[in-house]
């Protein structure tokens, strides 16, 4: 009798899981590992925005793809070797921060006074511990400082000089702010400055010109079943001094909870704060039991669009299912597919 | 036929609203106005923590009650006169900031270097616009600067000197940091400093001594049906320089959405950030259709407690229903009851 019951139950469960499978829309969603193996999963982004076909030279495009592949593979290999989701997230983000291609660490955009102010955050889905820094000017890898704030301070968010002083106490070397300077970003700054000064643009209306948001981020599921998320950015070109976007705001730019998912966002930060984008994806899974792709789509394609914001998110759940959604023309992104191979994408139609 | 149908419908609706009424636990919940009148509602808090009976002298207790009544009545009268929820929230919080009794504005606690660093935020439930400032040292009324950030800048959050420079550009006068100094807070600072130095306390373990969190906040429903929330604080006694708590984090310390509720929080900020407390109350109403008191109780009495944090929230929904929940021994709080009279409370058993 018991056996019959279990068999029936098994059939029901199988049937229901098929149903659940069918409700997932889109093609981004992957079951990363076979059920026999502990599942691991890794996804990164390098920002969203006006990245239409033809806007990048073939050489530049190849550079982006190469760096994204390097970062996603580095994180994935770390997970394969038994490193934690937190470690993989930090590792991959450091690679992206060190690359001048992305608006984080080296290659960050400049604020209205021609300075780089960097933001980053990281969150551990197992403990719900989190660390973040904002408006730091001399930290080579803000994501690593965010992790130190989480692990070595009683606080979640440290800003400005206080954050840098904490870094020094933790044995971190400060870099000269000149380290972050790149020719491309400086030219973008000068161009924006000229436009602002000529047009005496209403500051409330920014950005009239849609931007590329080069924020970087990563989400991971490790073999211990733990999720983590991290995000790092230089913010918005020509932002006001002291402006902090969604990246270091837990719940806006970054969120991780083993019960639901890990999320990293990129886009027009103010909208992501107002909507609590990362936490909302998690809430839709927690309270509405939405599959991860549906949850990211609902927030990005409906709520964010309705409010007038743009950008995107990457997310991963405890089963290794991936959600990727953006409402811009492109998003630098990469993940590891079910064969363990990296998939790197830039444009919307990929 | 139509009439019969409407009658049946009316009976069903009545019956269901009775049911809904019955699911509300606790006594805090009030239907503020009769359905014939446009409903308005106003609730404030002055912080939560170890405020047990006997810990305040009768004189001090009377001072607190008087100031809470003054602030809640000021906001309520503004709403009666047709002012907006945002205006009422700002007005009441300014009164609490100007009072040395509370840990916000004048009377703020000191950080580890003996300085005051202030945080505040405000949010408009109609537009989901929000403004916030963090780690400012020369702003007499941080809540008013938060509102300026919302209304006169393209950003949501400005920190440190950048925020102060924006204030000056907006015609706000800076005050000497000495303005915030009070004898009581300075003594609390010296006491904590001594304890830290003597015990070489592990900074990760703070605060061993449970604190009073004197953050102030307000939530309002105006006659136009709009909600707003605001919060202001000096943070945590002996916090690290540059530490930012939940108060200026939209979704953690403050949230407002006409579709659900307006929330202001007070407590151990790091936990409130990690749980996205204010947004979670709203999410439970949005996605689980919980009544406001149940939503606040679930977050504060269950989730927050489970994680090890303490504090409380005040909340109001679009019908004027109030939710108040805290897991500390007391919370300075006040609201306007259904007769339009102020109800002021401090202890748990009131």
Q: What per-residue confidence (pLDDT) applies to B196?
A: 82
Whether A13 shows a pLDDT value over 70: the answer reads no
Domain with B115 in it: what CATH number?
3.60.20.30
pLDDT, averaged across chain B: 89
- Does residue A49 fall inside a structural domain? yes
Q: Does A20 touch chain B if contact means CB atoms closer than 8 Å?
A: no
Structure tokens of A1? 């009798």
Rounded average pLDDT over B309-335 = 96
Whether B40 shows a pLDDT value over 60: the answer reads yes
Whether A317 shows a pLDDT value over 90: the answer reads yes
* Domains contained in chain A, number: 1
pLDDT tier for residue A259 given thresholds of 50, 70 and 90: very high
Structure tokens of A179? 């380290």
- R_g of chain A, CA atoms, integer Å: 20
Does the N-terminal peptide bond of residue B207 adopt cis geometry, omega within 30 degrees of 0?
Answer: yes
Q: From the list B166, B252, B288, which residue is nearest A251 (CB)? A: B252
Q: Does A240 touch chain B if contact means CB atoms closer than 8 Å?
A: yes
Tens digits of per-residue pLDDT, B66-86? 999 999 999 999 999 999 999
- Does residue B13 fall inside a structural domain? no
Whether A7 shows a pLDDT value over 50: the answer reads yes
A128 backbone φψ class: left, alpha, beta (φ>0; ψ -120 to 50): left
Q: Are B232 and B132 in contact (CB under 8 A)?
A: no
What is the three-class DSSP state of B54? coil
Sheet holding B311-317, edge to edge: B254-256, B261-267, B311-317, B322-326
- Does residue A21 fall inside a structural domain? no
Q: Are B96 and B44 in contact (CB under 8 A)?
A: yes
- Does residue B2 fall inside a structural domain? no
Tens digits of per-residue pLDDT, B262-278? 999 999 999 999 999 99
Q: Does A153 touch chain B if contact means CB atoms closer than 8 Å?
A: yes
- Does residue B12 fall inside a structural domain? no
Structure tokens of A26? 């889109």
Whether A292 shows a pLDDT value over 60: the answer reads yes
Q: Does B308 touch chain A if contact means CB atoms closer than 8 Å?
A: no
**Angle (deg, nearest 10), helices B85-98 and B58-80:** 160
Using CA atoms, how far residue A73 sits from A65, A95, B167, in Å, is 12, 11, 46
Please report the DSSP string for A79-111 in residue order. HHTT--HHHHHHHHHHHHHHSTTSSSSTTPPP-
Whether B54 shows a pLDDT value over 90: the answer reads no
Measured CA to CA, the distance from residue B128 to residue B124 in angstroms comes to 5
Tens digits of per-residue pLDDT, A320-336? 999 999 999 999 999 99
Tens digits of per-residue pLDDT, A114-128? 999 999 999 999 999
Q: What per-residue confidence (pLDDT) applies to A27?
A: 39
Q: From the list A154, A244, A279, which residue is nearest B157 (CB)? A: A244
Q: What per-residue confidence (pLDDT) applies to B200?
A: 55
Structure tokens of B197? 């130095």
Structure tokens of B82? 């047709």
Question: B218 phi and psi, to 5 degrees?
Answer: -150, 150
Q: Which has more pLDDT, A205 or A137? A: A137
Tens digits of per-residue pLDDT, B88-134? 999 999 999 999 999 999 999 999 999 999 999 999 999 999 999 99
**Which DSSP symbol is given to B180?**
G
Using CA atoms, how far residue A173 sits from A95, A176, B318, in Å, is 18, 10, 51
Q: Which of B125, B126, B133, B135 should one mutate to test binding to chain A, selecting the residue with the greatest count of A CBs within 10 A?
A: B135
State what percent of residues in chain A have pLDDT above 90: 78
- Does residue A30 fall inside a structural domain? yes
Whether A36 shows a pLDDT value over 70: the answer reads no
Active-site residue set of A: 215
Whether A14 shows a pLDDT value over 90: the answer reads no
Which 44-63 residues of chain B touch chain A by CB within 8 A? Answer: none
Do A160 and B159 make contact, defined as CB atoms within 8 angstroms?
A: yes
- Does residue A19 fall inside a structural domain? no
User: A8 exposed, middle or buried (CB, 10 Å; 0-12, 13-18, 19+)?
Assistant: exposed
Size of interface A-B (CB pairs under 8 A): 156
Whether A202 shows a pLDDT value over 80: the answer reads no
Q: Does A284 touch chain B if contact means CB atoms closer than 8 Å?
A: yes
Question: A92 phi and psi, to 5 degrees?
Answer: -65, -40
Measured CA to CA, the distance from residue B127 to residue B259 in angstroms comes to 11
- Does residue A286 fall inside a structural domain? yes
- Return the minimum-mean-pLDDT range out of A49-53, A59-63, B291-295, B328-332: A49-53
pLDDT tier for residue B197 given thresholds of 50, 70 and 90: confident
What ipTM score was computed for the predicted complex, to two decimals? Answer: 0.88
Smallest Cα–Cα separation from B128: which of B288, B254, B316?
B254
Beta strands B254-256; B157-159: pairing state: unpaired
Q: What per-residue confidence (pLDDT) applies to A200?
A: 55
- Return the minimum-mean-pLDDT range out of A2-6, A19-23, B78-82, B324-328: A19-23
Q: Model's pTM, two decimal places?
A: 0.89
Q: Are A122 and A143 in contact (CB under 8 A)?
A: yes
Structural domain that includes position B161: 26-347
Location of structure tokens 């000529």? A198
């Amino acid at each position: 009798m018991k056996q019959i019951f279990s068999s029936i139950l098994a059939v029901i469960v199988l049937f229901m899981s098929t149903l659940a499978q069918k409700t997932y829309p889109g093609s981004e969603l992957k079951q990363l590992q076979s059920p026999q193996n502990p599942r691991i999963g890794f996804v990164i982004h390098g920002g969203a925005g006006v990245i239409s076909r033809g806007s990048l030279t073939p050489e530049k495009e190849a550079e982006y793809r190469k760096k994204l592949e390097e970062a996603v593979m580095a994180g994935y290999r770390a997970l394969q070797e038994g490193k934690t989701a937190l470690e993989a997230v930090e590792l991959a983000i450091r690679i992206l921060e060190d690359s001048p291609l992305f608006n984080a660490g080296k290659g960050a955009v400049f604020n209205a006074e021609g300075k780089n102010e960097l933001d980053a955050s990281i969150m551990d889905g197992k403990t719900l511990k989190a660390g973040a820094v904002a408006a730091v000017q001399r930290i080579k890898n803000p994501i690593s400082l965010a992790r130190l704030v989480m692990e070595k301070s009683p606080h979640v968010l440290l800003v400005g000089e206080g954050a840098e002083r904490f870094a020094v106490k933790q044995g971190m070397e400060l870099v000269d702010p000149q380290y972050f300077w790149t020719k491309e970003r400086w030219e973008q700054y000068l161009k924006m400055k000229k436009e602002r000064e000529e047009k005496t643009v209403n500051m409330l209306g920014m950005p009239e010109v849609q931007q590329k948001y080069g924020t970087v981020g990563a989400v991971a599921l490790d073999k211990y079943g733990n999720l983590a998320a991290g995000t790092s950015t230089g913010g918005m070109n020509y932002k006001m001094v002291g402006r902090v976007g969604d990246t270091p705001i837990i719940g806006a730019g970054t969120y991780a909870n083993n019960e639901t998912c890990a999320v990293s966002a990129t886009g027009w930060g103010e909208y992501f704060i107002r909507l609590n984008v990362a936490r909302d994806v998690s809430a839709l899974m927690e309270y509405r039991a939405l599959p991860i792709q549906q949850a990211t789509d609902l927030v990005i394609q409906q709520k964010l669009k309705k409010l007038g914001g743009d950008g995107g998110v990457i997310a991963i759940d405890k089963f290794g299912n991936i959600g990727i959604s953006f409402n811009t023309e492109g998003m630098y992104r990469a993940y590891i597919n079910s064969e363990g191979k990296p998939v790197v994408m830039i444009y919307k139609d990929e």
